[in-house]
Amino acid sequence: MPETVKLYVYDLSQGMARSMSMQLTGKQIDGIWHTSVVVFGQEFYFGQGIMASKPGTTHHGRPLQMIDIGETFLPLEVVVEYIDSLRSVYTAEKYHLLDFNCNTFSNELCQFLCGKTIPNHITDLPTEFLDTPFGQSILPMIENMFGQSKLTSGSNNSKLTTPQPSAEVASLVQGMSSAATSAAPTTVNPVQIAHTAAVVDGFISSYKAVIVFFTSASCPPCKVIKPDFITLIQEKNSANKQIKILGVIMDTSLALDAAKYRISVTPTFQLFLNGQKYSEFKGANYAELKSQVDILLFEAFPPHPHRKILLRTIVDQPNVPILYTLPGKWDMIYAKLNTFLEKENITLDAGQKSIFDQSKRFLEKTNSTLNMDQWKTFVDSLLQKLSVDQLFPLFDIFRSLLISETVSDFYVNDPSQIVTIMEIASNNKALAKATWLMILKIACNIFANTTLSTIQFTSNLTTSHRAQLSQLLVSSLLASNAQVRQAAASLAYNCSTCIAIERLEKEKGTFSGMAEQEDDDWEVELASAIINALSKETDEEITHRLLAAIGKFVFLAPKDTSSVADLLSALDINSVIEEKKATKVISSSKVLGLARDICEMIKQQ
């Protein structure tokens, strides 16, 4: 199926270029363009490295235009691999407003996806801009921020006159500087040097929390506290890929427009929150500096309500999936599969016999290679020829192979065979326990490969097979067999673990996934099925896994968008838990602690 590719276009000058460019440059420039590419339900753009967001949710706001570039027939896996290959090229340090910017990335990605470039009026804008006296007048400022431009090398731009910017021009320069900083943080370093008020204002408007350290060359206390200031800001950002608080150093003796900030003595520290001045203090007092930074961070990034209550068990839950890794008795399993083949008069040809034996040696670790194309063809053949009840030895082999990185990486590119296996359980109401159990173990073992599980089975991408995984899970939670229910509970736990890992990464500012797992409708669907199963469950180990899954769905859930806690409250999970305690289904300390923590979190909603 083809996938639509769109170019989102934003004006970083917020209309300033359109209204002022003619009188200042002699040319009509309709915008300072920032672009991103939307494909497979994600918006990709170049800023602090290659970034990805839900379309239309970036800090640039609503796009002015959404241009249809065309369609791509490339599969998601190929696109993901290509974008990942560009990450070492498109880094924050290499960003240049004129030479290597968001439009450079968008152009390259569109050519890869559709064989088409983005509109020329976007890519030609830097050259067009520099061919004006005004462009030349602000070129030094741009090069001071981003380094020397390649566009000026060997050009005739040096012949143009470069008048001193007027007050009106300075206003536009300030807007452009702010826009450029917003488009791409100039570096991943959380401490920046600013020589003009325009650059400082750009930082203030681009980051949620900013502290500006006003210093001067003749200030001994400034020299004393400067190293502590730098260390403190670096420490506050050390666990984050995204900058939580930006430190800016301005030498008031060098910045001609520093008077704007009304600095009477140095050192002076001004703190800004969401673009507005939050507080100010004077003097080289490290204790005060640290206290003010901590208060600003608390206001900018208030902790989740769950972090304010004592949750002894929830926070200690391991964020690793439950996998079925125990090796099988391969001689017996392969013999059983051979028995079924003989019973159905299925004779393997030379190639099938070879891959059959090769898979056994691979599992026994006597052979390090497995031809995956031949293996997939072999499995497809047996899925057609064997009855559903005869497939369990094949699936036992399959679930063990899936633990291998070589095998799971193969299915990242084409998970259709795994989907077919999952659908066997969903489409057969009278499924034999052995086959059902092995299908669930296969589903659990896909979580051994993060890319396979997240992109292909738990993400909200349109190409994801989450619906098939969910159907398997929901239909298995109420099985009459306890082993099947336990495997289903393990699968529920693995799904919730994907959510938990993403939330923790977001809390730390380290999330960089391209396919978000957070989806309220999906979580509500699974939570509803889990609480229904929990109300009927009589086995404590299964109950433990179900509660652990619920706990992960609730813990650190987005305060404004998650409905899971409300659902659990409406379904009266407290009464369900109390009934389990009364009937001794919940009796061990670890399960009691988990139940208590869930009830505490529900109370906080």
CATH of the domain at 32: 3.90.1720.30
Same domain, 197 and 262: yes
Longest CA–CA separation in the chain, Å: 94
Structure tokens at 466: 């989450």
Going by pLDDT thresholds of 50, 70 and 90, the confidence category of residue 295 is: very high
Q: Does 275 map to a domain?
A: yes
Same domain, 121 and 227: no
pLDDT in tens, 82-114: 887 888 888 877 888 788 888 999 999 999 999
pLDDT in tens, 459-481: 887 788 999 999 999 999 999 99
Going by pLDDT thresholds of 50, 70 and 90, the confidence category of residue 153 is: low
Structure tokens at 173: 């320069």
Residue 566 has a pLDDT of: 94
Q: Please state, in angstroms and rounded to a whole number, the distance separating the CA atoms of residues 215 and 224.
A: 11
Q: Please state, in angstroms and rounded to a whole number, the distance separating the CA atoms of residues 418 and 270.
A: 57
Same domain, 26 and 171: yes
pLDDT in tens, 505-556: 888 777 765 567 889 999 999 999 999 999 999 999 999 999 999 999 999 9
Q: Does 356 map to a domain?
A: no
For the ranges 123-127, 196-200, 293-297, the lowest mean pLDDT is seen at: 196-200
Residue ending a domain, among 302, 337, 363, is 302
| Domain containing residue 211: CATH number | 3.40.30.10
Residue 185 has a pLDDT of: 44
Q: Does 49 map to a domain?
A: yes
- Higher pLDDT residue, 46 or 573? 573
Residue 537 φ/ψ, nearest 5 degrees: -75, 140
Instruction: State the number of CA atoms in the 13 A half-sphere of 527 facing the CB.
Output: 28
Same domain, 172 and 207: no
Beta bridge partners of 35: 9
In the three-class reduction of DSSP (H, G, I as helix; E, B as strand; rest coil), residue 8 is classed as strand
Residue ending a domain, among 302, 337, 360, is 302
Q: Does 256 map to a domain?
A: yes
Same domain, 166 and 224: no
For the ranges 240-244, 322-326, 537-541, 565-569, the lowest mean pLDDT is seen at: 240-244
Short-list 452, 485, 510, 447, CA closest to 318: 447
Looking at the structure of the chain, the number of domains it has is 2
Residue 372 has a pLDDT of: 96
Beta bridge partners of 7: 37, 67
Going by pLDDT thresholds of 50, 70 and 90, the confidence category of residue 76 is: confident
Distances in whole angstroms, Cα of residue 96 to Cα of each of 99, 190, 192: 5, 18, 16
Q: Please state, in angstroms and rounded to a whole number, the distance separating the CA atoms of residues 402 and 400.
A: 5
For the ranges 226-235, 240-249, 593-602, the lowest mean pLDDT is seen at: 240-249
pLDDT at 38 over 80: yes
Residue 19 has a pLDDT of: 62
Q: Does 248 map to a domain?
A: yes
Residue ending a domain, among 285, 302, 319, is 302
360-366: average pLDDT: 94
∠ CA 344-349-353, rounded to 5°: 90
Q: Please state, in angstroms and rounded to a whole number, the distance separating the CA atoms of residues 368 and 500.
A: 34
pLDDT at 26 over 90: no
**Which residues constitute the domain of residue 290?**
189-302
Alpha carbon 245 to its chain's center:
20
pLDDT in tens, 416-447: 999 999 999 988 888 999 999 999 999 999 99
CB 35 within 8 A of CB 13: no
For the ranges 168-182, 346-360, 472-486, the lowest mean pLDDT is seen at: 168-182
Short-list 596, 602, 533, CA closest to 566: 602
Same domain, 59 and 172: yes
> Average pLDDT, whole number, for the chain?
87
Structure tokens at 99: 């030479």
Q: Does 238 map to a domain?
A: yes
Which H or E element spans position 66? strand 65-72
The pTM for the full model equals 0.67
- Higher pLDDT residue, 123 or 284? 284
Same domain, 113 and 170: yes
Going by pLDDT thresholds of 50, 70 and 90, the confidence category of residue 178 is: very low
Same domain, 40 and 169: yes
- Which amino acids are annotated catalytic? 34, 102
Residue 170 has a pLDDT of: 45
